[in-house]
Amino acid sequence: MTTAALVHVIVSGLATGSVYALMALSLVIIYNATRTLNFAQGEMLMISTFVAWSVQQAFALPLLVTLPVAVLAAAAVALVFERLVIRRAIGATHWDVLIITLGLSLALRAVAGLAWSHDEFPFPSFFPSRPIALGPVRVAPVSLGIIGASLALMLALAALFRWTRLGRAMRAVSQNQRAARLMGISVERVYSLAWVLAAVVGAIAGVLVAPVIFLSSKMGLIVINGFTAAVLGGFGSMPGAVLGGMLLGVLENLAPLYLPSGIRYSVPFIVLIAILLVRPAGLLGRVEPRKV
Amino acid sequence: MRSLMSSLVAVLILGASSPATAQQGVTEREIVLGCSNSFSGPLAFTGEQATKFGVDLYLKVVNDAGGIHGRRVRTVYYDDGYKPQDAVANTRKLVEQDRIFAVIAPQGTPPVVATLEYLEENRVPLLFPFQGSPVTRGRKYVFSGMTLYDRQAKMMIDYLAGQRKYRTFGVLYQDDEYGKAFLTAFEKDLGRHNLKLAAAESVKRGASDVSAQIAKLQAARPQVTFLVLTPGPGAQALKERQKIGWTDTVMVSSGPLTDERYLALAADAAEGVEGLSLWPDPLTSDLPGVKAYRAAMQKYFGKNEPNRYSLSGYFAAMLFTEGARRAGKTLTRESLVTALEGIKGWDSGILPPITIGPDHETQRQGFWVRVEKGRFKQLTDWLTSD
Amino acid sequence: MRARWALVALGALLAAWPWLAPRYFVFLASLILVNAVVALGLNLLSGYTNQLSFGHAGFLAIGAYTAALLTLHAPAVPVVATLAAAGALTAVVGLAFGVPCLRLSGLYLAMATLAFGFVITEAILNLDGLTRGADGLRVPVARLGGWALATDTARYYLVAGVTVLLVAAAANLARTRTGRALLAIRESEIAAQASGVPVARYKTIAFGVSAFYTGVAGGLFAFIVGFLSPDAFDVFMSVDFVVMIIVGGLGSVPGSIVGAAVVTVLHDSLAGFQNYRPLIFGVILVACMLFMPGGIAGFGARLARR
C-alpha cells in the first residue's frame, strides 16, 4: 500500500468521519437537553435531504438551495414531532420516549418509501469529481469539502453554546433541569430548540454526505455510526463526539484494507461493543456516579 | 366471548372455502400469476420495473384485448428485499394462500435458487426468473428468463481474450451465488485461453462501499476488470476508480448489470465503460417488438422511462402468453410446460428467434456495448455462446 | 371459573386447529406460537428486569442455525434433543453477553444488544463453510423417533407442544422466588438491591433464560420455515419482537401471546401492502406508548377491574 493511496484512504475516512461527528453531535445535543436518545435522528436527516432534493429537481434551482431547504424541512419535522408527540410524553420514562422515537423512525422510513420509493438516487455534488493532486497524493475534492464544511459547522456550534444566551440556557438545562427552571429558563422551549438544532445539524450532514453514498430511504441507518461515534468519544461530550466521529471514519476505511474487505460494516458494531465493555465512559468522558 | 367465537368461525369458513378447481390458479375467467421480488433493498428499482412496469405492462395489453382464451391474467407480488429466507416465505404464501398458477419473473440468484426445491416439490412452474444461475438449467418446471451465467461468461471471455486480445483480468463480484457463478465460469473460460485471473475481490450482498476492493484490484493492474454486482455497488465502483484516478483498465459489466440504471447513478464516471447487453436498446432499437413495447409504455405508464428491466419483464409476460395460447383452453401446468417446450424458431420482435429445448433455456444471446456520452453504443452483433 | 373454561376452550381449539384450518393457516398458527415463545423470552428480559433488547433476532438466528445444522449433520438426534441443544447454546451465548453487560444502564444496554444482534448475523454470514453464508441454508425435515415431521400439521403439533410447556413454565415463574425477585427488580432495582435481592445474579439469570427461550423458538422457527438466510434476522425483526411485547404488555405472560398473535397476523395480512407496514407498526408503537402504556394486557386488566 503506497503512502499516496494510504493518505487518500485516510482523507476519505476523515470525510465520512466528519459526517459521523455531525450525526453524533445532533444525538448529543438532544440527549444533553432532554436526557433521551432520538432513534429517529437518521430518518429525519434522510427525509430533509429528500425534500431538499425534490425541491431542487422540481424547480431546477441551483444546487446551493438544497442546504437551506433541507434545514427548513428538518426544523419543521422536528418541531412538529416534538410538540405533538414528545411533549405529551414529557412525564414518561426515558424508555417510553426511546420507544416512541423508534416508532417514529419506522414511520418516517415508510413515508419516504411511499413518497420517493426505496430506490437509490444520485445526489449532485457541490464539488468537482476529478481528484486533486497534492504532490504525489491524490485527494478527492468532495472529501475536503465535507471536512471543511463540517469543521465550520462545528465551530459555529461551539460558538453558539459558549457565547449566546440560547447556548447558555441549553447548557444550564443539561446540567440541572430544576435549577435551570428556578432561574427562569423555560425548559420546554429549550427542549424544542434542542430538537430543532439537532435536526438542523443532521440536515446539513445529510446534504454533505448524500453525493457520496446515494440518496435512499435507508440513509437513516447512519444514526448507528453516529451513536457509536458519540459513545467512543464519551457520550454527552461534544468534543468527544467530534473525536469519536473522525476516529470511527478512519477506522472504517483502514480496516478493510488490512483485513478482509467485508469487515467494514461490522466496524461500528465491534467498536461499540468493545468500548461499552472496556471503557463505557469513552475516550473523553467521565464515569458518572449513579445517583440513587 | 361470543363475538370472539363467531369471528373465529368466520375465519375458518372463509379460509376453508377455497373452491376445488381442476387446476390451481386457473378459473373460467382468470389466470393468477405471481412472484416474490425486490421492492426494497439493492434491487428495488429493477424489481419494480420488471414486475409493475414490465410483466404488468404486457398483461395490460393482453387483458385489454380480451385475455388468453377469454381469461384475464392477474398478478400478485410480495417483497423479499433480495433476502432468500423471505423469498421462500413469500413464495409459499403465493402458492398456498393466493393459489397462483405459476411463478413469473422473480429476481435475484440466491432468492430464486432458495425457492427451487419448494416449487419442485409442489410442481409449480417457475417461469423466466430474472437471474441466470446454471443451477436452474434443465429442470422440468423451470424455464430460464435470462442468458445463463456460464453462457454470458463464455461470450465475454471469448470476445475480450479472443477478439480483443486482452491478457490480464480482474473481477469484483458479489459474494454469493450470483457472483460466484460468474467467478467459476470466468476461471473456466480463461483456462480455455490458457489464462488465469489476476485478481478477484468480493463485495457482500447489500453493501455499497467498494473503496477497499477497488484499491486492492488496482494493485494487481488488470487490463480488464469485470463488475458482477447490482446497480448500487456497480456505480460506486466506477465512482471510486475515478476518485483514485485508476484509468488504465476497462471496466466491464455483467449481463444483469448492463443497463442505463447504473450509468445514471455513476454519472460521468461511467464514460468508456463496456459490458455485455442481454437486450436490444429499449430507447432506440427499431425492432418491431421493442417499438410495440415503447408504445405500450407510453400509453399506460407515460412517465416511466423504458429500460432493459421492464423490457425483460414485458418479454417474460409475452413468452408466457405465447405458451398459454398454445396450450389451449384446458390450461394446466403440464400443458403449459409442453406448450413452451414446443416453441421453435419463434420471433418475438425483440430477440433473435427463440427455440426452447429440453434444457428449458429461453435465451442464449448477448452483444457488446460501450458507454459513450452517457448511453450504450452497440459494438458487435449478437454474440454466440455455443 | 370462567378463566378455567376459557383455557380449556383455547386448548381444544389449539389441538383441533389443523383439522379446521387450511394448510397456510396451520403454518401461520405455528408461526404465532413460535413468536409467542420469543415474546415470552424477551418479556422476561425487558418486562421484568428492564433490560430492553434490540438484538433478539440474533438469539433466534443462533437457535435456528444450531437446530438446522444439527439435524443436517447428526440426523439421528431426536428433535427434542436438538431443540434443547439449540436453546442451551443460545443460553450460553446469552450469558456470555449478558454478564459483561450487567454494568451497562438502559440506553447503553439497548444499543449494545443492537450491536450484538448485528455481530451475530455477520458471524453466521462469514462462517459460510458451515452455514452456506449469504446463499442460505435449507433446513432438513425434523424427525421424532422414526417419524418424519414432513407436513405443516406434524410440525404444528411439535410447536404447540413445546410452546405449551414453555408458557406453563413462564406462568409459574411468577410464583417462585426467582419470579418475585424479578418483579422486585422491575419495580425498583435500587430498592430490590437494598432489600437484599442479588440483583446482578438475577439479571444474569434473566438473560440466560431469555436466550434459552429464544433459542428453542429459533429451532422451531427453522423447522417450520424450512429455509434460513442471515440477512432475514435483521434489526427490523428484533424491532418486531419489541412491538409484540409493547403491544401485548410488558411483563405479562398472556400479553406476550396476544402481542405475538397481533403482530404476526398483522405482518402477514399486510404482505400485499409492504410499503405501509412499517408505517402502521410505527404508528402502533407511538400510539401504544402514549395511550396504552400497559399494552393489551394492561387494558384487559383495567377492563376486568371494572
Q: What is the pLDDT of residues B70-84, one digit of tens each?
A: 999 999 999 999 999
Instruction: Report B:235-264 residues touching C (Cβ under 8 A).
Output: none
Q: How far is C191 from chain A (nearest CA, A)?
A: 10
Beta bridge partners of B77: B35
Instruction: Report B:294-313 residues touching C (Cβ under 8 A).
Output: none
Answer whether C239 sits within 8 Å of A102, measured CB to CB. Answer: yes
Chain A residues in contact with C93 (beta carbon < 8 A): none
Q: How far is A126 from chain C (nearest CA, A)?
A: 32
- Contact assessment for residue B365 and residue B147, using Cβ atoms and an 8 Å cutoff: yes
Averaged pLDDT for residues B218-226:
94
Chain C residues in contact with B85 (beta carbon < 8 A): 136, 225, 227-229, 231-232
- The Cα C165–Cα C157 span in angstroms is 12
- The Cα A18–Cα A83 span in angstroms is 30
Answer whether C119 sits within 8 Å of A273, measured CB to CB. Answer: yes
> Among C6, C20, C232, whose Cβ lies nearest the Cβ of B85?
C232
Q: How far is B309 from chain A (nearest CA, A)?
A: 14
pLDDT of residue B140: 93
What are the boundaries of each domain within chain C?
23-234
- Contact assessment for residue B341 and residue B129, using Cβ atoms and an 8 Å cutoff: no
Whether B1 has a pLDDT exceeding 80, the answer reads: no
Chain B residues in contact with A8 (beta carbon < 8 A): 243-244
- Contact assessment for residue A253 and residue A68, using Cβ atoms and an 8 Å cutoff: no
The DSSP element (H or E) to which C148 belongs, if any, is strand C147-148
Computed over every residue of chain B, the mean pLDDT equals 91
Beta-strand relationship, B126-127 and B142-143: parallel
- Contact assessment for residue C237 and residue C64, using Cβ atoms and an 8 Å cutoff: no
- Subunits with 3+ Cβ pairs within 8 Å of B are A, C
Run means of pLDDT, 10 residues per run, chain A, 292 residues: 81 94 94 87 95 91 88 93 77 76 93 92 84 79 90 92 88 83 84 92 93 90 94 90 95 89 88 89 71 49
Within 8 A by CB and 6+ apart from A16, the residues are A146, A209, A212, A249, A252, A253
Whether C177 has a pLDDT exceeding 50, the answer reads: yes
Within 8 A by CB and 6+ apart from B87, the residues are B36, B80, B106, B108, B111, B112, B114, B115
> Among A37, A268, A280, whose Cβ lies nearest the Cβ of C104?
A280
B39 touches chain A (CB under 8 A): yes
pLDDT of residue B19: 47
DSSP state of A121: B
Whether B3 has a pLDDT exceeding 70, the answer reads: no
pLDDT of residue C176: 84
pLDDT of residue B16: 46
Burial grade of C230 (CB within 10 A; 0-12, 13-18, 19 or more):
buried
Q: How far is B359 from chain A (nearest CA, A)?
A: 35
- Contact assessment for residue C197 and residue C143, using Cβ atoms and an 8 Å cutoff: no
The DSSP element (H or E) to which A132 belongs, if any, is strand A132-134
What string of H, E and C letters represents the secondary structure of chain B?
CHHHHHHHHHHHHHHHCCCCCCCCCECCCEEEEEEEECCCCCCHHHHHHHHHHHHHHHHHHHHHCCCECCEEEEEEEEECCCCHHHHHHHHHHHHHCCCCCEEECCECHHHHHHHHHHHHHCCCCEECCECCCHHHCCCCCEECCCCCHHHHHHHHHHHHHHHCCCCCEEEEEECCHHHHHHHHHHHHHHHHCCCCEEEEEEECCCCCCCHHHHHHHHHHCCCEEEEECCHHHHHHHHHHHHHCCCCCCEEEECCCCCCHHHHHHHHHHHCCCEEEECCCCCCCCCCHHHHHHHHHHHHHCCCCCCCHHHHHHHHHHHHHHHHHHHHCCCCCHHHHHHHHHCCCCECCCCCCCECCCCCCCCCCCCEEEEEECCEEEECCCCCCCC
Instruction: Report A:91-150 residues touching C (Cβ under 8 A).
Output: 92, 94-96, 98-100, 102-111, 113-114
Whether B279 has a pLDDT exceeding 90, the answer reads: yes
Averaged pLDDT for residues C176-193:
80
Answer whether B207 sits within 8 Å of A264, measured CB to CB. Answer: yes
Chain C residues in contact with A85 (beta carbon < 8 A): 286, 290
Q: What is the pLDDT of residues B123-137, one digit of tens each?
A: 999 999 999 999 999
Instruction: Give the residue on A whose Cα is nearest the Cα of C113.
Output: A273
Chain B residues in contact with A120 (beta carbon < 8 A): 44-45, 231-232, 265
Pick among A1, A11, A118, A132 to test the B interface (most B CBs inside 10 A): A118
pLDDT of residue B18: 46
Nearest to C85 by CA among C67, C71, C100: C67
Q: How far is B213 from chain A (nearest CA, A)?
A: 7
- Contact assessment for residue B251 and residue B274, using Cβ atoms and an 8 Å cutoff: yes
Q: Using 50, 70 and 90 to split pLDDT, how confident is the model at B192?
A: very high
- Contact assessment for residue C264 and residue C34, using Cβ atoms and an 8 Å cutoff: no
Give me the amino acid identity at A155: L
pLDDT of residue B11: 55
Domains located in chain B, CATH noted: 19-147+286-341 (3.40.50.2300), 149-277+367-378 (3.40.50.2300)
pLDDT of residue B2: 53
Q: How far is B204 from chain A (nearest CA, A)?
A: 6
Q: 3-state class of A133 per DSSP?
A: strand
- The Cα A44–Cα B267 span in angstroms is 27
Percentage of residues of chain B with pLDDT beyond 90: 81
CA atoms within 13 A on the CB side of B200: 13
Q: Using 50, 70 and 90 to split pLDDT, how confident is the model at B20?
A: very low
Q: How far is B159 from chain C (nearest CA, A)?
A: 30
* Residue B278 in grid coordinates: 442481454
> Among A89, A227, A273, whose Cβ lies nearest the Cβ of C289?
A89
Answer whether B245 sits within 8 Å of A131, measured CB to CB. Answer: yes
Averaged pLDDT for residues C120-135:
91
- The Cα C60–Cα C63 span in angstroms is 5
Query: Which range is least confidently modeled, A149-153, B47-51, C199-203?
Result: C199-203
Averaged pLDDT for residues B25-35:
94
- The Cα A52–Cα C203 span in angstroms is 47
B374 touches chain A (CB under 8 A): no
Instruction: Give the residue on C whose Cα is nearest the Cα of A268.
Output: C115
Q: H-type helices in A135-266, by residue range?
A: 141-163, 165-175, 177-182, 187-213, 222-233, 238-258
Nearest to A190 by CA among A29, A23, A28, A42: A29
C291 touches chain A (CB under 8 A): no
Chain CA centroid to CA C51, Å? 15
Answer whether B245 sits within 8 Å of A138, measured CB to CB. Answer: yes
Q: What is the pLDDT of residues C222-272, one digit of tens each?
A: 999 999 999 999 999 999 999 999 999 888 889 999 999 999 999 999 988
C152-173 and C253-269 are packed helices; what angle lies between their axes, rounded to 10 degrees? 150
Could you tell me the CA-to-CA distances from B267 to A82, B236, B273, B372, B379 in Å, in that order?
Answer: 39, 10, 12, 12, 21
CA atoms within 13 A on the CB side of B251: 31
The DSSP element (H or E) to which A1 belongs, if any, is none
pLDDT of residue A230: 94
pLDDT greater at residue C32 or residue C5: C32
- Contact assessment for residue B210 and residue B241, using Cβ atoms and an 8 Å cutoff: no
Averaged pLDDT for residues C126-151:
90
Answer whether B79 sits within 8 Å of C27, measured CB to CB. Answer: no
Beta-strand relationship, B224-228 and B169-174: parallel
Q: 3-state class of A36 per DSSP?
A: coil
Domains located in chain A, CATH noted: 3-278 (1.10.3470)
Within 8 A by CB and 6+ apart from B141, the residues are B119, B120, B123, B124, B125, B126, B333, B337
Nearest to A43 by CA among A111, A91, A143, A89: A111
Interface predicted TM-score (ipTM) of this complex, two decimals: 0.91
- Contact assessment for residue C136 and residue B114, using Cβ atoms and an 8 Å cutoff: yes
* Residue B67 in grid coordinates: 385475455
- The Cα B63–Cα B82 span in angstroms is 30
C277 touches chain A (CB under 8 A): yes
Answer whether C52 sits within 8 Å of A98, measured CB to CB. Answer: yes
DSSP state of A82: I
B288-300 and B56-64 are packed helices; what angle lies between their axes, rounded to 10 degrees? 90
Whether C189 has a pLDDT exceeding 80, the answer reads: no
pLDDT greater at residue C104 or residue B280: B280
A134 touches chain B (CB under 8 A): no
Torsion C48-C49-C50-C54 (CA) sign: negative
Q: What are phi and psi of B213, to 5 degrees?
A: -65, -40
| Euclidean distance between the first and the last CA atom of chain A, given in angstroms as a whole number | 54
- The Cα B130–Cα B134 span in angstroms is 13
C21 touches chain B (CB under 8 A): yes
Q: Using 50, 70 and 90 to split pLDDT, how confident is the model at B120?
A: very high
